[in-house]
Structure 1
Amino acid sequence: MLMSTGQEALWLAHRIDPDSSAYNVILAVRLRDRVDTGVLQRALTALVERHELLRSRFPATDEGPVRLPTAPGSVRLDVREVPGAGDEELFRLARRASEEPFRIMESGAFRAVLLRRAPDDSVLVTATHHLVSDATSQWLLVRDLFAEYGARTGRGSAVAPPGAITSWDEQVRGEREFVASPRGRRAAAYWQEVCAGVRAAELPTDRPRQAQPTLRGATHEVRPDPATAQRLRSAAAGRGLTPFAWLLGTFQAALHRSGAGDGFLVGCPATTRFTPGTREAVGYYVNTLPILGRFTPATTLLEAVESAQRHLRTGMAHARHPVELLDAGSSRGPLFRISCTLVAADRLPVPGLYEGAVRLGGLRAELCDVPQQEGQLDLAVEVLQGADDFRLMLRYNTDLFDAATVERFGDTWHRLLDASLDAPGTPVGDVALVARDDLAFLLALGSGTA
């Protein structure tokens, strides 16, 4: 069975550090009704029968990694009884279950763990390795699992038939045919031009970079207030831009002001679900686009935002070409050290779960927001776009950065975002990064009069 270029890169990352959870993709739900574990197991078997990557393992051979599907019944529900656990302990156990490393060569890249505190109170943790899933896939997985559960208990409707999705082999063959085609060669030339002469964005670190990264990480959240979120939507719409492009442009400006230089690349993971048969499938449908940022002393905040939109739009036109195939050259280092991606939480396959309680397969369910995918890169930003708000999740490598450094960067980004909404024509370099009162205090310290 075939593996995509992106999967092969993720397989290698796992081989280098098999005990890391940096590439674990998680969705955990708190269930407030009695769960029939026998029915849930049958629903799980139906799920992995439909989505073959969830029942695949990835051993090494002399020719490289291969994908070997297993029988649907080989994926078993792991029920762990945790009577008496408090809410904090239950969350800690859910996080621990999500962080357990996968043995992708021996036992695959998917598990489902039910932490049962009481017959009518449990947490279901669904965890995958990134090489079989992405953000959308994890929500599709939960949607389909509970649809199967509800269909078997008479409390929900059946899912779409297996023929509604594209097989993974067909997806990989399509990728390879595109790469070999004239369009694929033009896309490769476009990306080589974008990347020529620039390096990955890189912030000054608190500690030296180790020769072998450990992929340890943490998360810092920046949450603009509702008024800022509304102003952002209105400003972007008024100029024919997307809110994500506006956030990306100001993010690049924050990198520039924080020491990343005048020209650099940021990775923007983008979907490769280009056909109807892929939109309902669980799999690794992602290509990380190199987005160029360039700044001069005269570059304004609005120009940074417009540049981000332009590069995003043109990049999506060439998104079918896997960036892993680009010849980066050994002297320039990795293509990305920093990424920024959009997750449109208000359009995810399980409506309402991001905002609050819903019913899944007849069961009352709430999102259990377990941290995940920390430490993959120096800094990986996830923009969670809700119906009325934005959450900016800054996942960083703790071997490189202290929490205070990332918090300070988050403040810089927020300050540039506010400035871009107040006066978009302001040069990026002219925005004050310290509040006036704080600046007066610092100057007073320097003069000895504080």
Structure 2
Amino acid sequence: MRITPYHRIIAVAAVLGVLSSCAGRPEGVLIPTAAASVSGTSKVDVLVATTRRPSETPGVLYSGERGAEPAITEIAVSIPPDSAREVGQVQWPKKLPANPDKEFATLSVTPMQKPQAHRWLHDHLPKSKRVMVFVHGFNNRYEDAIYRYAQIVHDSGADVAPILFTWPSRGSIFAYNYDKESTNFSRDALEDMLRTIARNPEVGEVVVMAHSMGSWLTVEALRQMAIRDGRVSPKIQNVILASPDLDVDVFGRQIAEIGPKGPHFTLFVSRDDRALGLSRRISGNIDRLGQVDPTVEPYRSEFEKQGIVVLDLTALKGGDRLNHGKFAESPEVVKLLGNRLIAGQTVTDNDVGLGDRIGAVALGTAQTVGGAASVAVNAPISIFDPATRRNYGDQVDRLGRSVGNTVETAVGR
């Protein structure tokens, strides 16, 4: 048999499927545990909206198939004491019932209608009046999305009311096209949910964070809102796209249609993301947004023009073999999410461990600063911030001249 590019892609997909498999996890982890809360554990209450079809399997709740109508559920998750777990990791139960001392456990599952969901939001809004909506990515089951988001909320310490939007993913590496069409299926539902949250007079700000293929769904929903309403709601101030599985050309059109009054975008990218590498091959070898190098053209100029901040995680060691989940599994990134990004604050070199050095990648001056820049380039997280480029341009010029003068003096001697 002749080996074609298609067969190679299937072979790669099979390998990635093995690497990302969830073998050993018990089915039905969303069956509430009867155990009382254990000392030292934490509880995260998440409001979950879904376009999935209900499942008849106990503890699964919703399948990967598409539902007739969106459904809402409140789910409380217990997280083990910090001494028993690593930040950035979900400790899945090895068997049921889960052991709350060492594993994530489901405490309660409460189906809701819209009036009850409004009441939940009233009761869970923090003093910041900030809501964070999370949209998961490709190859996620219902329980995957819930436990992952509970982990992000807990580990980041985010001061938010957490809402999860979970769309019909079959949770299979071989269901890429089905999952992609499921995001299209879910655009109206996400748009409607975001509009409803933003129109709530008690809500002050909405942050949207999306991972992988969920980025396509998120930006599409915002684009639709901008077209339908004339602009994205001003309460939706910040959008964080982690490892976005999004065609760069399509993203450019989406941003243009959202318009200049749209939310501020922050991207997490990583050039060693193996999952996005496969997606690129499947999608006609067009760059995926989550794999670009923000310091090279045309991306550098486009990001600067649009005011998009990019955090390059390529040098950061990933917690998974695909390097696709660094945003949630890296303690450094989770800390950034909670301390700065979710609050809509600017991330600086100090936040990523560069001290008072100028971030060469953030400023786009690695080629001019010389040895001083190499230290910053080798940092685990590099920032490309257009505002930083503008604000510190003169400072960089002075530093470049200083380095040049030092070299000239040394040569003269």
State if a TM-score over 0.5 links the two structures.
Answer: no
- If the length of structure 2 is used for normalisation, what is the TM-score? 0.29
- If the length of structure 1 is used for normalisation, what is the TM-score? 0.27
